[in-house]
Every structure is written in structure tokens, then in C-alpha cells.
Amino acid sequence: MIRNFKRSAAVFGAVAASSLALVACSDSAEDTSAEGGSEGESAVELPGGYSLSGATGGLVAEGASSQQNAMDYFGAKFQEVTGGDAYLEYNPTGSGSGRTNFVDGNVVFAGSDSPLEDEQVDAAAERCGGNEAWHLPFVIGPVSIAYNLEGVDEPINLSTETLASIFAGDITSWSDEAIAADNEGVELPDTDISVVYRSDESGTSDNFQKFLTASTGNWEGEGTNFPTAVGEGANGSSGVATQVQQIDGGITYVENSHAVSSGLDVANVDFGQGPVELNEESVGQALESMEFTTEGNNMVVDADVLFASDAGYPLILTTYEIVCSGGYTEDEANLVKDFLMTALAYQDEGLSEAGHIPVSGGHYDRLVEAVEAING
């Protein structure tokens, strides 16, 4: 589990999954608090006066591709703050793979759009030395309905019922009367709709299907595998976005940062109170209705309540960092806490530009409290 080299450049993207989940910490680390630190560090005010532990080396994590852009951003800041002495390796293999490798002890934490499966909970506690694994809703990523439709300059409006019909294959043309009714006065082309879905096991697929069920009551699919009867599949968030880029009439569901980075158009969605534009304000309104099915520092979002809401833009991935509440070695706990506290310090415009919604208010305070409570 130990490597004794220092990276001088950021190490993000597709890093092969490895049992080398942690690199050793220095025996006599310098003070790396926001007020000081080793030469080359960026000063940053960490939440609650937290001071970095001085841990050095690489922190290996794996999971949801939907949070890759956020992990890239946080990882760059983490490396800056630690002067390059500590860094993140995040492998965006998908939520299912991330959870599996976390339970198997191959990574220090997992990124996942969905909570641990019921049968994984006990195994995760065993992996954590008999301690509960916590779900921290850390990366707030709206799911955009991203499309590519030549000849239409203004954003398309789509009701939840129309969305369900499109992804079920019941609506096959952009000029369909249901889409026209959602977009009065807009001249819609007679272009075939090409649905693109996640072909891999995906928490985004799981949440999108939960949303369609909760918001319409008229969706038959469920789980991390999207139905394959309609459209064509692509692997990962970047894969579906790239596929839609290449198809006139293409449409997909994808974490918004990937729609933004791919330059795709994003539909306004009518959740029952008229079309809603996806932005920080509308997502913030929806987050006010967020509830949990668990207690304390383990925060599993009640998706049924969130997705059935018509407040703001509730089609949100509250992407988790799944961590051990205890059972880490001291070095592991220090690196996990240092990284997560740094990420909380950078809930800012840079994160917004990456397509994510910064956390604030009561939810921010909940996350700070939970990270502080992680033990070795």
C-alpha cells in the first residue's frame, strides 16, 4: 500500500484501479495550515479552522464519471494547497465499480451517484474495521437533458411526461405534437429523435429512472442499467455527450458539467409549475426540500421526495463520496480529511464553471461536521 515518490503534475483521469490506495505520510510533516505551510503551498482558509495534517503522497479513489470534472478541480486545488506533496488519483470507472472497489478495500473512498446496495452495507462496514460507511452528498451535479438539434436556436421546453415518452420511444420526432405543445410558437424541424443512454452500469441512469418514476408515475425501468430497447448506448458521461454531439436530433440525460464541456444545448424542464431553466438558483431551491433516509453523518438522500418535488430544478445528482467513518489507518484518515476539507474550501466560481453547484448553508455545515468526525 506504500509508494515513496512525489508527483509534480496533476494526475487525473483514467488511472488504473489499484490496491495502492494510499501513499505514506511523512514522519515529520511541516505545518500546512491555512496560515502557513511548506514552501510553494497556496494559502487557503479551510473550514472551521481546520489545519492540514501534513500527510504526503497519493490518495486513490474511484467511481462516478459524473463527478470527474469536480474531482479534477478539487484535485488540482489539493495539489496546490499541499505544494504538490499530496495529490488525488480519481479513476472515473462508474458508480458501480467505485462501490465495489471501495468495499473490496482497493480504494480509500468511492464516488457514487447511488448509495451502497443493501447487500454491500455490511461488507462495507467490515472493510471499515467494523465501522459504518458514510455517504457524503458532496458533489451537486444537476442532470441536464442535453440535445443537439440543428435549426432551433432557443432552448427547448420539455415536460416530465414528454421526457418519459421520448426515452420510452413513444415520441420519435422533434415535431411531435407533445413537444410542439411544450413549445408554442417555436418552429420545430421534422427530425428523428435519437435517444442516447448510458450503456455501462450507471448511477446517473439509476437516478434518472427514479426521477421519471417519481415525477410521472409512468416509467417501468429501474436500476443502474438503462433499458436498451430504444436508442443506442455509450459508455460514461463523456461518452453519451460525445455521441449526442455527432447526431442531429440526439438527446441524452447527463450530469450537467459534461453537457457544458461538450457545448450541447440543455432543455428547460417543466416539473409541474412551468418550464425551469437549469441554473444555481433553481437547483438551490430544490435542495431546500432535500431529506435523508438515514441519520447523523451518514446522509443518504431520499430520492423519492427530491424527484417528486416541483420546486426549482429537482433533477439533481447528489453524488456521494462514500468513506469509512472509522477503521482507516491514521495516514489514510488524514489524507481523506485533508482532501475533503480542501474541496469544501473551494465551493466557488471555479466549481460552477466546471458545471457543478457549490454547496452552502446548512448542507455545507453538515458536510464539515461529518468530515471532521472521520477517524483512523
Q: Which amino acid is at 95?
A: S
- pLDDT of residue 16 exceeding 70, the answer is no
pLDDT number for residue 9: 33
- pLDDT of residue 313 exceeding 60, the answer is yes
* Cα Dmax for the chain: 69
- pLDDT of residue 132 exceeding 60, the answer is yes
pLDDT > 70: percent of the chain: 89
Query: pLDDT tens-digit profile of 23-51?
Result: 333 333 334 344 334 443 446 789 989 99
pLDDT number for residue 25: 39
pLDDT top residue among 11 and 312: 312
The Cα 337–Cα 52 span in angstroms is 8
HEC per residue, 211-264: HHHHHHCCCCCCCCCCCCCCCEEECHHHHHHHHHHCCCCEEEEEEHHHHHHHCC
pLDDT number for residue 276: 97
- pLDDT of residue 61 exceeding 50, the answer is yes
**Residue among 21, 310, 10 at smallest CA distance from 160:** 310
The Cα 374–Cα 376 span in angstroms is 7
Question: Within 10 A of 169 (CB to CB), how many other CB atoms are there?
Answer: 13
CA 303 vs. chain centroid, Å, equals: 15
The Cα 371–Cα 57 span in angstroms is 20
Domains of the chain and CATH, by start: 142-285 (3.40.190.10)
**Residue among 201, 3, 192 at smallest CA distance from 86:** 3
pLDDT number for residue 369: 97
Query: pLDDT tens-digit profile of 213-229?
Result: 999 998 989 998 999 99
pLDDT number for residue 355: 80
Query: pLDDT tens-digit profile of 331-348?
Result: 999 999 999 999 999 999
Pairing of strands 265-266, 194-198: unpaired
Binning pLDDT at 50, 70 and 90, where does residue 285 land?
Answer: confident
pLDDT number for residue 13: 35
Question: If you average pLDDT over residues 349-362, what whole number do you get?
Answer: 88
- How many Cα neighbours within 13 Å face the side chain of 34? 10
Query: pLDDT tens-digit profile of 185-224?
Result: 999 999 999 999 999 988 889 999 999 999 999 898 999 8
Query: pLDDT tens-digit profile of 95-111?
Result: 999 999 999 999 999 99
Question: If you average pLDDT over residues 45-66, what whole number do you get?
Answer: 93
Residue 149, sorted as left (phi over 0), alpha (psi -120 to 50) or beta, turns out to be beta
Cα radius of gyration (the chain)? 21
DSSP H or E segment with residue 74: helix 68-81
Binning pLDDT at 50, 70 and 90, where does residue 127 land?
Answer: very high
Q: Locate 191 and state its grid cell.
A: 427530425
pLDDT number for residue 43: 63
pLDDT number for residue 240: 97
What pTM was computed for the model?
0.74
